[in-house]
Amino acid sequence: MHLMVTPDGSKFQVCSNAGNSGRFEVGTDTLSVRVGQRMRRGNQEEMWDSVLVQCKEHPDGSIAVEAVVCHPDWNEPMEIASIQSHPQDREAKKPT
């Protein structure tokens, strides 16, 4: 993990390496990533979104990264992490 200042002032950055399929890296102000995996349910195979990562800005100017996991047997997705920061506030404490 490394910290860096984005030259374009983006709020978020994503880097993805999909092996032989390619690599992707971009800075952005909003981001949503879904990671699906193939599962078998009964006699059917299907792609199921297992992890969701959502990055967004809140009305108060704070930004957040939220990670959610999903399972076909669960009634609802489960948020496993939410990290909120206030990059524009010079008096802000560490991310929460």
Tens of pLDDT, residue by residue over 6-58, are 567 888 988 889 999 999 888 889 999 999 999 988 899 999 899 999 999 99
Instruction: For residue 35, report the phi and psi dihedrals to the nearest 5 degrees.
Output: -115, 115
Higher pLDDT, 90 or 3: 90
Asked if 76 and 88 count as a contact pair (C-beta separation under 8 A), the reply is no
pTM for this prediction = 0.78
pLDDT recorded at residue 72:
85
Asked if 57 and 30 count as a contact pair (C-beta separation under 8 A), the reply is yes
- Position 96 pLDDT exceeds 80: no
pLDDT recorded at residue 55:
95
- Position 90 pLDDT exceeds 80: no
Give the helix, strand, coil percentages of the chain, each rounded to 5: 5, 55, 45
Q: What SS3 class is residue 28? A: strand
